Structure 1
Amino acid sequence: MIYNYVQVAALAPNVPALYELHFAVPMAGAVLCTLNTRYDSAMVSVLLEHSGANIIFVDYQLLHIAKGALEILSKKGIKLPYLILIKESYDSVPDKISVPETLEYESLLLTGRPDFKIVRPNDECDPISLNYTSGTTSNPKGVVYGHRGAYLNSLAAALLNEMGSMPVYLWTVPMFHCNGWCLTWSVAAQGGTNICLRSVTAKAIFDSVGAHHVTHMGAAPTVLNMIVNSLENERMTVREKVTVMTGGAPPPPHVLHKMEEFGFIVHHSYGLTETYGPATICAWKPEWDSIPPETRAKFKSRQGLQHLGMEEVDVKNPDTLISVPLDGKTMGEVMFRGNTVMNGYLKDEKATREAFKGGWFRSGDLGVKHPDGYIELKDRSNDIIISGGENISTIEVESVIFSHPSVFEAAVVGRPDDHWGETPCAFVKLKDGCEATEGNIISFCRERLPHYMAPKSVIFQDLPKTSTGKTQKFVLRQKAKDLGSLSKGSKL
């Protein structure tokens, strides 16, 4: 699949060098593997070994992580990749770096040849990049992207973002995540300007929007949450509307509503690492302009329709592959097929076969299809809670908890119960300076949900996250499991 290609890894935040590598590496006929900046040395060593990286570009702030990874590989007798250091300035790192085969990025560029000829792919499906999944449910898998899929998804991403010529794009989405949702290439195709953020904060976002007249940005729901909960002294008036594409878990309606008030136009997309990032968009309908803001936000939080680069998206019965009725109620698994679906998982033929069983890529997400054809996610297949024979969508419960005025973040998982099988267990992080008790949260939910759907236990803590802002529910499920059954013979 990619064994005959030079593998070039990169461990860096959103800095200009990482953007440049998205062009330099493919143009040299190699495959780019961007690594998650929150991984520790042990995980980086695993991915370097698995990918077979020959070269690794490392940002100076992450040099200690890379050095630790190389030490682990060295002890295992594995040939080390060449390390190329990315400096912020010549004073940003010590003069002496005790890493073998070390070069410096800007010095390396000076050795380039103006007459260099681009190494073009022999086949349009040849690999262009390797992206590891974010590991929300298990260890990361290596997802192989092809030139054709990346090209098509880049053009589709520009359309999804309503991106005209010469946009100004603010990099809040990590470039290491699905190659920045393929927008690394989209922005260049449109002759745009890239504003790189090494560290994403609400103040940095507002400052950048004002200073650079940002037209577009991307953001996971956690970043949207950061913006709407920012302090007053961190904000500034957004004088020109900023188009924001968000993905991941459906943003709570009140977050979408608040973003609109701040001057951000949010487009809700949906996809996975295996679909090159965004695969659907909640295309706006003019008739929705006249409906109440809260209802409008609920419509906007749907996952919508496939983009032009994707052949088909459907919600199907996972056993029969029959499409579910367009009733907004019958749940099935969201499935994809088309050019913008991955080539496969690196060195894992079994997982690749399972993912494409029946000729469709199986997302593992459960959803419904509305009468207008728009899909709406209800849960991950392994996140759905079955309590007393009733299916409980954790997304619906989380949306209600999010609307509590004291709640900053929330995640719901199933907690084993000797009587009901499972009961909803909520993990909640409160806003700074706010208070709430377990009883407050439970009562709040019972007033807005059928009682069997309301959490039976609430734990207050920070939520474990991947680098892309997704909650690691497998961590929370294990914690809920360790708590044991809430009670025996309990009644809803």
Structure 2
Amino acid sequence: MDEPVGFGTRITEIAARIPGRPAVTFAPVHGEETVLSWAELEARANQTARLLAAHGAGPGRAVIVALPNGPAHLLAAIGAWKLGAMAVPLKHSLSPRERADLIGLVDPAVVVAADWEVPPPAVRLGPADLEAGSALDAGPLPPVVPHPGKAVASGGSTGGAKVIVDPRRWAHSPGKALGIGSVQGLRAGQTQLVAGALFHNAPFCWAHFGLCEEHHLVLTDRFDAAHAVDLIERHRVQFLFMAPVMMHRVMRLPGLPDRDLSSIETLFHTAAPCPAWLKRAWIDRLGPERVIERFGASEAVGNTFITGAEWLAHPGSVGRGERTHIRILGEDGRDLPTGEVGEIFTRSLDATGPTYEYLGAPPADTTPDGYTSVGDFGRLDEEGYLYLADRRSDMINNGGVNVYPAEVEAVLSEHPAVADAAVVGLPDAEYGRRVHAVVQPTAGHRVTEAELVDFCRARLSSEKVPRSVEFRDPLPRDAAGKLRRRGLVPQEE
């Protein structure tokens, strides 16, 4: 088996073998496509590395990458890894307070951003600086394995700044994704569509895992459903990651049945619960062997995996533990019987040491025998398949009955006039919390509160039916498709 090498070193190896092949095609929603060959990617990443090194980046130091999607984002991360530094992708449009908090936690040597104010001793390098770096030496750098190599900001619900550091060696073995192992549907030499925001863990990791597997990345500046389908057809995309909200928007496109998606070998999805109707629609369109789902967390404390064929036999499941033991615990810390909803605790069988470190927060809840929870709830069936409920903080106690928002949201999303939906609990004098739906209507459709309530009443038990519906366009989702429930307080209250 090939010895693992650092991600930056892996780019050097590939560029030496296939220098003229396309490595990255940048295809913005508006504008011309540009292409970087493997030789160009390697040369520019080496120049970026030398620029970063001249400003203090190196082993044990952090480089914040706060750029929009584009080749420069990839080059900054690869350049950091070529020095043995840790790459930290952050959203480029964070507020000044958020920027300051995260910079304080990360303590970077360099911040790659267009217009951030960066306190010394850190240095800011902007796009013009990166472009000027093209005058530097483009030759290879010595092999190095970053340790640690990656950290991401948490999108948690508390509002406080938190960074999740992956403390493991940031090294790649061909055919294996770091911390996951071999991935069904991921193979060398594929064309991969990268339509998610690179400051989020899944798009960032799968883009770079793909590059290490000789993928030709087709990278967009932002997700647009129609543009994504155009790129799939034009570039014959074979592998792509989408969050469920992205899957929903593509599936609702007019004329989708007439589009050619036959090149897709793997649709990989994660990041949020996927409504059953939507999952089934994609399985019907692509075939069960091409739809793959994984459930896990940035903390890398374990994951599950399920194919489309397995899902048809276990609808609604996110799979069984993949080299992972799963326990469902009650509030007293005891294991719950099969089928009962409780807090999900996992332990990776492959972990030989810590898989995460929090900056700005205490460690996640962990049992004495090493099972960790990041706050998700769910249940196991008799065959060990996991079914998600919701996070503890999202659950609605409606008159003593626990209501899981994801279940209600999945029903609402089935309605053709609903483009997006979220469910929250609002204060209620009688029930404690009442179920409140926030809905984004589909363009060109009209729907009333009464119609949606009746639609839910025909499909849900009475305590789960929304007692009120609010219309908003759009819902507060981040670029990864995750809901920001703090922004869902009714506008009139």
How much does 1:201 deviate?
0.8
- 2:355 match: 342
- Of residues 279, 298, 306 in structure 1, which corresponds to 2:303? 279
Equivalent residue letter for 1:304? G
Change in 2 beyond 3 A, CA 1:128/1:216:
same
How much does 1:270 deviate?
1.4
How much does 1:170 deviate?
0.6
Q: Please list the CA deviations of residues 114-171 of structure 1 after superposition, one character each: whole Å capped at 9, or x if unmatched.
A: 25213335xxxx3111210124442341101123477588256573351122111110
CA distance in 2, matches of 1:394, 1:85: 42
Change in 2 beyond 3 A, CA 1:150/1:235:
farther
Is 2:136 the partner of 1:111?
A: yes
Pairwise mapping of residues 467-478 of structure 1 onto structure 2 (< 5 A)?
467-476=479-488, 478=489
How much does 1:219 deviate?
0.8
The question of whether the paired residues in 2 share the 8 Å contact of 1:154 and 1:185 is answered with no
- 2:329 match: 316
Change in 2 beyond 3 A, CA 1:402/1:181:
same
CA distance in 2, matches of 1:384, 1:120: 42
Equivalent position SS for 2:263: coil
The question of whether the paired residues in 2 share the 8 Å contact of 1:414 and 1:425 is answered with yes
CA RMSD of aligned residues (A): 2.9
How much does 1:460 deviate?
0.8
The question of whether the paired residues in 2 share the 8 Å contact of 1:284 and 1:300 is answered with no
How much does 1:239 deviate?
2.9
Q: Which moved more, 1:298-307 or 1:437-446?
A: 298-307
The question of whether the paired residues in 1 share the 8 Å contact of 2:376 and 2:390 is answered with yes
Equivalent residue letter for 1:84? L
TM-score, structure 1 normalization: 0.79
How much does 1:56 deviate?
1.8
- Of residues 46, 64, 87 in structure 2, which corresponds to 1:32? 87
Give structure 2 stretches of 5+ with no counterpart. Answer: 1-56
Change in 2 beyond 3 A, CA 1:230/1:40:
farther
Change in 2 beyond 3 A, CA 1:193/1:201:
same
CA distance in 1, matches of 2:154, 2:296: 12
Change in 2 beyond 3 A, CA 1:447/1:233:
closer
CA distance in 1, matches of 2:202, 2:286: 27
- Of residues 430, 448, 460 in structure 2, which corresponds to 1:449? 460
How much does 1:54 deviate?
1.9
The question of whether the paired residues in 1 share the 8 Å contact of 2:68 and 2:221 is answered with yes
Equivalent residue letter for 1:57? V
CA distance in 2, matches of 1:222, 1:130: 25
- 2:96 match: 41
- Of residues 150, 157, 164 in structure 2, which corresponds to 1:129? 150
- Of residues 267, 277, 285 in structure 2, which corresponds to 1:244? 267
TM-score, structure 2 normalization: 0.79
How much does 1:263 deviate?
3.5
Equivalent residue letter for 1:147? R
How much does 1:279 deviate?
2.4
CA distance in 1, matches of 2:184, 2:157: 26
- Of residues 431, 438, 441 in structure 2, which corresponds to 1:427? 438
- Of residues 304, 311, 326 in structure 1, which corresponds to 2:319? 304
The question of whether the paired residues in 2 share the 8 Å contact of 1:158 and 1:187 is answered with no
Pairwise mapping of residues 74-473 of structure 1 onto structure 2 (< 5 A)?
78-79=119-120, 81-86=122-127, 104-112=129-137, 114=139, 116-121=141-146, 126-148=147-169, 154-155=177-178, 159-178=182-201, 180=203, 182-232=205-255, 236-263=259-286, 265-275=290-300, 279-285=303-309, 296=312, 299-308=314-323, 311-320=324-333, 322-326=334-338, 328=339, 330-338=340-348, 339=351, 342-348=355-361, 351-352=362-363, 354-356=364-366, 358=368, 359-461=370-472, 462-473=474-485
Q: Please list the CA deviations of residues 390-423 of structure 1 after superposition, one character each: whole Å capped at 9, or x if unmatched.
A: 1112111111111122111111111111111111
Change in 2 beyond 3 A, CA 1:6/1:35:
same
CA distance in 1, matches of 2:196, 2:376: 22
CA distance in 2, matches of 1:10, 1:223: 24
Equivalent residue letter for 2:337? P
Q: Which has the higher helix share?
A: 1
Q: Please list the CA deviations of residues 317-348 of structure 1 after superposition, one character each: whole Å capped at 9, or x if unmatched.
A: 3532x33322x3x0111122233963210254
CA distance in 2, matches of 1:325, 1:141: 34
CA distance in 2, matches of 1:211, 1:244: 17
How much does 1:302 deviate?
1.7
- 1:89 match: none
Change in 2 beyond 3 A, CA 1:429/1:161:
farther
- 2:13 match: none
CA distance in 1, matches of 2:354, 2:411: 33
Q: Which moved more, 1:130-139 or 1:259-268?
A: 259-268
The question of whether the paired residues in 2 share the 8 Å contact of 1:282 and 1:300 is answered with no
CA distance in 2, matches of 1:39, 1:26: 24
Change in 2 beyond 3 A, CA 1:365/1:317:
same
Q: Which moved more, 1:184-193 or 1:402-411?
A: 184-193
CA distance in 2, matches of 1:266, 1:411: 25
Equivalent residue letter for 2:303? A
- 1:15 match: 70
The question of whether the paired residues in 2 share the 8 Å contact of 1:34 and 1:131 is answered with yes
- Of residues 43, 47, 51 in structure 1, which corresponds to 2:106? 51
Change in 2 beyond 3 A, CA 1:301/1:39:
farther
CA distance in 2, matches of 1:254, 1:343: 34
Change in 2 beyond 3 A, CA 1:314/1:242:
same
The question of whether the paired residues in 2 share the 8 Å contact of 1:137 and 1:473 is answered with no
Q: Please list the CA deviations of residues 87-138 of structure 1 after superposition, one character each: whole Å capped at 9, or x if unmatched.
A: xxxxxxxxxxxxxxxx5224324413625213335xxxx3111210124442
Q: Please list the CA deviations of residues 222-265 of structure 1 after superposition, one character each: whole Å capped at 9, or x if unmatched.
A: 11111012233897322323411111222112222333454473
